[in-house]
Structure 1
Amino acid sequence: MSHSLRFSLPVQSALSQTTVRWPMLLLGGVVLFSPLIQWLPETVLYLPFLLSVVIFGLPHGAVDHLVPARLMSLPRRRSFALVGALYALAGGAYLLFWLLSPALAFVSFILLTWYHWGQGDVYTLYAVSGLDSLGNQVDRWLTILLRGGFPMFIPLLSHPGQYEQVAVAIVSLFDPAAVPMLAVVFDPSIRIGGVIAFTVLTLVVIALGYYRVHTGIDPHRGWLGNCAEIGLLWIYFWVLPPVFAIGVYFACWHSIRHIGRLAAIDDRSVAAIERGSIKTALRQFGSDAAPLTAASLIVFVGLFIGLSVGIDANSLLAVYLVGIALLTLPHVLIVTWMDHTQLPSWVATE
């Protein structure tokens, strides 16, 4: 069955509310309480990542096995077999990379997540907010660089010490001797140049968006919404502790947006949304995601045992993030295929 991006009005309204307005209100509220959050104990700051194991974060990728079935009308067993094989091959190869070169693997994970979280926002901006200019290759890649850079790059610029603490904990799981290889990433000169470059990128994206409105490609309202999100994300990731900020963003921004995308290609969820029952659609997602969410926990248990990890907060977070990394690579491949299936051609257009 073909699922176009021309949603019915109830679905469009529901997606706009749940994947755009609610995450913005949540992150905006968190920013208001940032002076208090700065003083929370370290263990409390890790709480969003802990909750993401069962609330939206980890589960948002646990429906990948149904994506080919929904987009290509494949039998469920064949869809499951194809995606299962992809996860086994890609995840296994990525684990080998982590074992052989943990420092490079960590950098690759940051870059992979940068791309993936950027592509997630591109879909929402195009399909929900109506920014048709993102069908253009240049606009799309600039937006991917900007949007993915907020959670992956801004915390490095604003809180380098905390960012480095997590990086060291992750790499040390595999080879403490590889930690010095990360030094170049945290060089102060890199951060100064990074602030300048990212500021320029922000201004370019905003200016290009205004030009697209002026030429009639994008709606003015969509551009204003994009600017509001850009401003919020700049502030959010600049002022908040990285672990807390990224944990909340992962579960309540990125994952919710992807869940909305999944709902839009599920006939049962679409029917529920058109009846005004978002809760029914969420329950359907939870039911679909529960089995593989539980199965994914085996990956984390295996890493915990295999790497002989301590039970301090940093080590446990490191194991969780490595587990997420192993699941992220095949997940990104699935989502990139979804992009090529659902979004306009990646060939540059005028």
Structure 2
Amino acid sequence: MTERASPRLGTAPASLRAAVRRLAVYPAWVAFVAVAAPFLAGVAVPLSWQYAPLVASAVLFGMPHGAVDHLVPRRLSAASTRRSVAVVVVLYAVLGGACLAWWFLHPVSAAAAFVLLTWAHWGQGDVYLLRAVDDSLTYPRSVPHRLLTLVVRGAMPMAVPLVADATQYRRVVADFVAPFGGDVAAVAWLFDPGTTRTLGVGLAALTLLTLLRGLVVRRSALATANATAGLDIADRDRPGTVTPLVTLGPVALVADRGLRVDAVELGVLWLFFLAVPPVLAVGLYFCLWHALRHVVRLIAAEASGSEALRAGDHLAAFGRFVRQAAPLTAVALAMVGGLYALVPVPPGEIGELVGLYLVLIAVLTLPHVVVVAWMDRVQGVWTG
């Protein structure tokens, strides 16, 4: 039987939040800056090599991070294992089947929907992360601020690469739809310089807006957060108070850990996706940013996993996850072969083969998003 940790974000001890930062936050910052540096210096990498992280994602966090969805209801609620598995299997069969049919019927619109859904989902993952690592439990500041954060964070891997290199972005989308007989000519305007310039300016403005909203806090909201923290002020393993930089009438300027993490990460992500070619950048992001953070979230949801993370026993924590994820990861990879046999135009080049793999990811994404949205509700990501 799986032993559950307390699911609510507000009950997570500060030591667990610190462990999440050490494992899923700080290493990614270092890795992304290190990868971006050579490209800023003018280094070029053959396109075929750039697909390596996406290929690796089949076993390195990418595909596996959703392969324990069937255990999530049991992990975060009192549901039985049998019911947990049955509900998620039906969810995947219905929504995944509908998505697959969409790809066969109209691949271009299916690809567009996949990009938008991934935009929302990857932003959703970072909203959770910001909530999880913020000891004050106040960041992002409100539901509207969390929605804005979702849009901006999801745009980093989904839209900034389009701004940086529209030609390669178009080629990847073409590889998505080619096995199904699709053609991106109908959406060629998306890749025009005017479109990408407008998108870039808009995203830059939204980035500044979300940070400004994080900086400015109502004094009444700050007082409420501090009063709540004060209930446990003697316990150093509980959230602490937030001290404003300055107060200006009814508002205060606050640069707490949540805002600092958000600002650093947005800077790192802008640098990374503007400097690194889109295929390589998105592959690395999928493995080392989004999927890794979700895996750590899953591990922390179990009492044994939470204890292992806090103790620094990462091998034990990840070993258990690997054992749980391996069976359905293997099933999903076998499905790639089945999809290859079904498509009207079997892929031949590396880009088309990876594109077909990503179509399977697309088919599995919608039910996965539903599971994660349920996790968000249970864990209080969008409340408080």
User: How does the TM-score come out when normalised to structure 2?
Assistant: 0.86
For 2:348, the aligned partner's letter is: I
Correspondence 1:148 to 2:185: no
Counterpart secondary structure, 1:33: helix
Structure 2 counterpart of 1:335: 372
Note if contact 1:10-1:276 (Cα within 8 Å) is conserved in structure 2: no
For 2:164, the aligned partner's letter is: S
Structure 1 counterpart of 2:234: none
Counterpart secondary structure, 1:297: helix
Structure 2 counterpart of 1:247: 283
Correspondence 1:3 to 2:3: no
Closer/same/farther in 2, CA of residues 119 and 154 from structure 1, 3 Å limit: same
Question: 1:271, CA displacement in angstroms?
Answer: 2.5
Structure 2 counterpart of 1:230: 266
For 2:140, the aligned partner's letter is: L
Counterpart secondary structure, 2:263: helix
Structure 2 counterpart of 1:268: 304
Counterpart secondary structure, 2:180: coil
Alignment of 1:96-245 (within 5 A): 96-130=101-135, 132-134=138-140, 136-176=142-182, 178-212=183-217, 215=251, 220-245=256-281
Question: 1:217, CA displacement in angstroms?
Answer: 9.3
Identity %: 38
Bigger mean CA offset, 217-226 vs 90-99 = 217-226
Correspondence 1:313 to 2:350: yes
Alignment of 1:65-84 (within 5 A): 65-84=70-89
Superposed CA deviations along residues 56-77 of structure 1, whole A, max 9, x for unmatched, are 1110111101100011122212
Correspondent of 1:42 among 44, 47, 52: 47
Paired with 1:219 and 1:200, the residues of 2 have a C-alpha distance of 20
Counterpart secondary structure, 2:140: helix
Paired with 1:345 and 1:25, the residues of 2 have a C-alpha distance of 29
Question: 1:274, CA displacement in angstroms?
Answer: 3.4
Structure 2 counterpart of 1:54: 59
Note if contact 2:376-2:382 (Cα within 8 Å) is conserved in structure 1: no
Query: Counting helix residues as a fraction of each chain, which structure ranks higher?
Result: 1
Paired with 1:158 and 1:274, the residues of 2 have a C-alpha distance of 39
Closer/same/farther in 2, CA of residues 252 and 3 from structure 1, 3 Å limit: same
Correspondence 1:12 to 2:17: yes
Counterpart secondary structure, 1:57: coil
Note if contact 1:263-1:269 (Cα within 8 Å) is conserved in structure 2: yes
Bigger mean CA offset, 130-139 vs 186-195 = 130-139
Superposed CA deviations along residues 205-264 of structure 1, whole A, max 9, x for unmatched, are 111111136656965232122111111100100111000000000000001110111011
Closer/same/farther in 2, CA of residues 125 and 180 from structure 1, 3 Å limit: same
RMSD (Å), alpha carbons: 1.9
Question: 1:37, CA displacement in angstroms?
Answer: 8.1
Note if contact 1:126-1:132 (Cα within 8 Å) is conserved in structure 2: yes
Closer/same/farther in 2, CA of residues 172 and 41 from structure 1, 3 Å limit: same
For 1:336, the aligned partner's letter is: A
Structure 1 counterpart of 2:91: 86
Question: 1:135, CA displacement in angstroms?
Answer: 5.8
Structure 2 counterpart of 1:296: 332
Correspondence 1:277 to 2:285: no
Paired with 1:309 and 1:37, the residues of 2 have a C-alpha distance of 36
Closer/same/farther in 2, CA of residues 310 and 171 from structure 1, 3 Å limit: closer
Note if contact 2:299-2:305 (Cα within 8 Å) is conserved in structure 1: yes
Bigger mean CA offset, 302-311 vs 75-84 = 302-311
Counterpart secondary structure, 2:322: helix
Give unpaired runs (5+ residues) of structure 2.
218-243, 246-250
Paired with 1:170 and 1:151, the residues of 2 have a C-alpha distance of 17
Give unpaired runs (5+ residues) of structure 1.
none
User: How does the TM-score come out when normalised to structure 1?
Assistant: 0.94
Paired with 1:106 and 1:125, the residues of 2 have a C-alpha distance of 29
Note if contact 1:61-1:331 (Cα within 8 Å) is conserved in structure 2: yes
Note if contact 1:16-1:129 (Cα within 8 Å) is conserved in structure 2: no
Closer/same/farther in 2, CA of residues 202 and 331 from structure 1, 3 Å limit: same
Bigger mean CA offset, 164-173 vs 305-314 = 305-314
Structure with max Cα Rg: 2
Divergent runs of 4+, >6 A: none
Superposed CA deviations along residues 297-344 of structure 1, whole A, max 9, x for unmatched, are 122111111124233111111101101100111101100111111125
Bigger mean CA offset, 219-228 vs 261-270 = 219-228
Structure 2 counterpart of 1:258: 294
Bigger mean CA offset, 337-346 vs 45-54 = 337-346
Question: 1:96, CA displacement in angstroms?
Answer: 1.0
Paired with 2:253 and 2:98, the residues of 1 have a C-alpha distance of 42
Bigger mean CA offset, 287-296 vs 122-131 = 122-131
Question: 1:47, CA displacement in angstroms?
Answer: 0.4
Q: Matched residue pairs, number?
A: 346
